[in-house]
Structure 1
C-alpha cells in the first residue's frame, strides 16, 4: 500500500463519519497543520499516523478495525456521559441532583439525539 492509498482511505472514512479536519485534529490530539500536511502527502511522524487511524477506527494500513456504527455509538456514549455530567453538576449545585436512573435516562436520551436526532451533526464536534 502506498501513502496515497492510506490517505485516500483516511479521507473516505473521515467523510463517511462526517468529521471535519479541525475536529479530527482535536479528537486525535494532533495539530491541524500537521493533519493537513499529512493529508497533502507530506512526511509526518508514525505516531501521528497512528493517532489519526486509531481515532477513525482503522489499522495502520487503513483497514477497518472498528465498524462505523460501533465507532459512532462509542463516541455518542462518551459525549452523552460528558453532557449528563454537566447536567448533574448543575442540578447538584441547585440541590436537585439526579438519582442513578435519572442519570442513565439522560445519558440514553443524549446518546439517541447524538446518533439520530437533532444533534447528530454535533457528534464529532470536539
Structure 2
C-alpha cells in the first residue's frame, strides 16, 4: 500500500466521524503538528500511525477494523459513563448516591443523546 492511500483512507474516516484534528490529537495522545505532518505525507513514527488508526477503527493498511456504527456506539458509551460518573460523584458528595438502576438509565440517556440527540456534535470532542 502506498503512503498516500493510507493518508486518504485515514482522512476519509476522520471526516466520516466528524473529528477535528485538534480532538484527534487529544484522543490519540499525539501532537497537532505530528498529525499535520502525517496528513501532509511527511515521515512519522509507526507508533504514530498505530495510535491514529486505532482511534479511527482502522488497521495499519487503512482498512476498517471496527465498523463505523460500532465505533460511534463505543465512543458514546465511554462518554456516557464519564458523564454519569460526574453526576454520581456530585450526588455522592451530597450523600445522595444513585442506585444502580438509576445510574444505568442515566448512562443510556447520555448514550442516546451522543448518538442521535443534542450532544451528537460533541461525540468526538475530547
Q: Is 1:40 aligned to 2:40, yes or no?
A: yes
* Cα deviation code 1:7-48 (max 9, x no counterpart): 000000000000000001110111111000110010000000
> What is the match of residue 119 of structure 1?
119
Unaligned runs of 5+ in 2: none
What CA distance in whole angstroms lies between the structure 2 residues aligned with 1:12 and 1:45? 21
Q: CA deviation at 1:5?
A: 0.6
RMSD: 0.5
The residue aligned with 1:56 is 56
- Give 4+ residue runs of structure 1 displaced > 6 Å after superposition: none
CA distance in 2, matches of 1:40, 1:50: 17
CA positional deviation for 1:96: 1.3
TM-score by length of 1: 0.99
> Deviations 1:57-79 (Å, cap 9, x if unpaired)?
00000000000000000000011
- In structure 2, C-alpha distance between the alignment counterparts of 1:80 and 1:119, rounded to whole Å: 11
Aligned to 2:11: 11
| Residues in 1 aligned to 2:102 and 2:47: alpha-carbon distance in whole angstroms | 41
Aligned residues: 126
- With structure 2 as the length reference, what TM-score do the two structures score? 0.99
